[in-house]
Amino acid sequence: MSVTRRDFVRTSVLGAVATGIGAHGAASGPPNGNGAQGHASANDMYKRPIIITAHNGFNYIDDAYAFLKNGGDTLDAALRVVKGPEDDPKDTSVGLGGLPNEEGVVELDSCCMHGPTRRAGSVGGVRNIKNVSLVAKAVMEQTGHVMLVGEGAERFAVAMGFPRENLLTDHSRKVWLLWKEYHSTTDWWGPALADPHWQPPQEQPEGKPQSELWQERVRRLEKHAANLGIVPELRRDAVYKVLFPPTGTIHCSALNEKGEISGCTTTSGLAYKLPGRVGDSPIIGAGCYTDQDVGSAGATGSGEENIKVAGAHTIIENMRHGMSPKEAGMDALQRIVRNYNHDMKKLQFVDMIYYILRRDGAYAGVSLWTGYEGGHPHQIVVHDGTRRAEDATALFQGFSRDFPPDPKVPAEVQKQFQ
């Protein structure tokens, strides 16, 4: 199924500002004019080796590219990229320092696929082990299974020699506490009546502009953050993560000169999720899918929506049937749109970014929206001899909102976080 002009016209009639196809033009494209924004033609030559990843892979892709160029395995190259954010306590969407579930426990998901041997491994809901992407690889190599979850996955990792460690950093713990306090008007979390900092719930003063009310809310949160001991330079970040619960995750696909291709995805999942919730990232065919004959694709964004369209697998199948990487990704996005009957009131709370690498080196980054509310435009990071970040091609121009929905944060309040 291709993305027809009629589909796009209908979508825009239903509320989208623009389709985004071609919107970014060649300016952000790679030097060879192919890739993220380009369409493939049978005669196009693409650069190999090549690695594509999410924005948080930027600092790690150089090393992985050198490894790949020196003959390193494609999956090992991709794992080198994603291990960076897993090890980084400051990346609050992956591995160590990932924001926890609603009970304050970090639970990680990951999967990988090795194209040349057509194998896969995956782990879901893993606690206390930082490098779950490597655990997924160990499941692939050391067991007859494809997926392990929860306690069993943790015990397997320990048996394989992975150290158990506390993944909840002090900062993530405090951000989680701040989030609990912000959302708890009816429970026992937060300062008690007897606390000198306790304040009665604010009445909605009639006629007060929304932006003023929000400024007050932000000030109150900053005060709470100070009471929790969050250092001044991290307070704004903490408030941001409460008002706009961050999504993150990292996917990486790598292709070598021989045409071998692999991919992996790793995440701490949605911040403040229900304990036991597993997203799309460890689901083979949703968060990642690699087929040695076609290519590799991965996803970050609204995991539940991606599972329902088997995003990465859909993209690979679309390419198998002749679509370019960008067309294949746009079609997967259209399936998410269709699942909501094009209802923009709901779709404003959904976002998805697909990272797509075809076996010949053609690639694309596509997203449902231009970026997350309060954030920057979605980007993919590419290395084919030159490292660069490129804007993803958005289906809808505009910024998606976080779910569960809070009253909309006015633009002038959002600006102070940018």
**CB 39, CB 240: distance < 8 Å:** no
Determine the Cα–Cα distance for residues 383 and 190; give it in Å rounded to an integer: 46
300 lies in the binding site for ligand ASP (CB under 6 A): yes
Distance of alpha carbon 376 from the chain centroid = 13
Sheet hosting strand 352-358, strand order edge to edge: 288-291, 295-301, 352-358, 363-372, 393-400
Stretch that binds ligand ASP, among 33-41, 244-252, 308-316, 398-406 (CB under 6 A): 244-252
Stretch that binds ligand ASP, among 77-85, 149-157, 235-243, 247-255 (CB under 6 A): 247-255
Catalytically annotated residue among 247, 249, 265, 370: 249
380 lies in the binding site for ligand ASP (CB under 6 A): no
**CB 113, CB 263: distance < 8 Å:** yes
Query: Minimum CB separation from ligand ASP for residue 370, in Å?
Result: 16
Paired strand residues for 111 = 122, 265
365 lies in the binding site for ligand ASP (CB under 6 A): no
Report in angstroms the alpha-carbon separations of 335 from 7, 12, 341, 349, 396. Answer: 11, 15, 10, 16, 14
Of 29 and 282, the one with the shorter C-beta distance to ligand ASP is 282
Of the residues 98, 303, 311, 398, which one makes contact with ligand ASP according to CB under 6 A: 303
286 lies in the binding site for ligand ASP (CB under 6 A): no
- The answer to whether 267 is a known catalytic residue is no
Map residues 195-234 to x or -, x wherever contact with ligand ASP holds by CB under 6 A: ----------------------------------------
**CB 293, CB 359: distance < 8 Å:** yes
Query: Minimum CB separation from ligand ASP for residue 281, in Å?
Result: 5
Of the residues 121, 269, 361, 375, which one makes contact with ligand ASP according to CB under 6 A: 269
Residue 62 half-sphere exposure, CB side, CA atoms within 13 Å? 4
Query: Tokens in use for 304?
Result: 């539940």
248 lies in the binding site for ligand ASP (CB under 6 A): yes
Query: Minimum CB separation from ligand ASP for residue 352, in Å?
Result: 8
Query: Minimum CB separation from ligand ASP for residue 280, in Å?
Result: 5
270 lies in the binding site for ligand ASP (CB under 6 A): yes
110 lies in the binding site for ligand ASP (CB under 6 A): no
Query: Minimum CB separation from ligand ASP for residue 37, in Å?
Result: 23
Residues 6+ apart with CB under 8 A from 315: 289, 297, 325, 328, 329, 331, 332, 354, 356
Determine the Cα–Cα distance for residues 262 and 141; give it in Å rounded to an integer: 14
Of 267 and 393, the one with the shorter C-beta distance to ligand ASP is 267
154 lies in the binding site for ligand ASP (CB under 6 A): no
**CB 374, CB 351: distance < 8 Å:** no
100 lies in the binding site for ligand ASP (CB under 6 A): no
Longest dimension (CA), the chain: 74
Of 189 and 403, the one with the shorter C-beta distance to ligand ASP is 403
Three-state DSSP class for 327? helix
Determine the Cα–Cα distance for residues 299 and 339; give it in Å rounded to an integer: 18
247 lies in the binding site for ligand ASP (CB under 6 A): yes
Query: Tokens in use for 32?
Result: 């060879």
Paired strand residues for 147 = 122
Of the residues 301, 371, 374, 375, which one makes contact with ligand ASP according to CB under 6 A: 301
Residue 14 half-sphere exposure, CB side, CA atoms within 13 Å? 19
Query: Minimum CB separation from ligand ASP for residue 82, in Å?
Result: 13
Size of the site for ligand ASP (CB under 6 A): 12
Query: Tokens in use for 16?
Result: 């989208």
Of 300 and 348, the one with the shorter C-beta distance to ligand ASP is 300
Sheet hosting strand 119-126, strand order edge to edge: 147-149, 119-126, 108-114, 261-267, 250-255, 50-54, 379-383, 387-391
Phi/psi at 199 (5° precision): -130, 140
Of the residues 11, 262, 267, 400, which one makes contact with ligand ASP according to CB under 6 A: 267
56 lies in the binding site for ligand ASP (CB under 6 A): no
Determine the Cα–Cα distance for residues 71 and 48; give it in Å rounded to an integer: 12
Stretch that binds ligand ASP, among 10-18, 296-304, 334-342, 354-362 (CB under 6 A): 296-304
266 lies in the binding site for ligand ASP (CB under 6 A): no
Closest CB to ligand ASP belongs to which residue?
A: 303
Catalytic residue IDs: 249
Summarize as ranges the residues that interact with ligand ASP (CB under 6 A). 247-249, 267, 269-270, 279-281, 300-301, 303
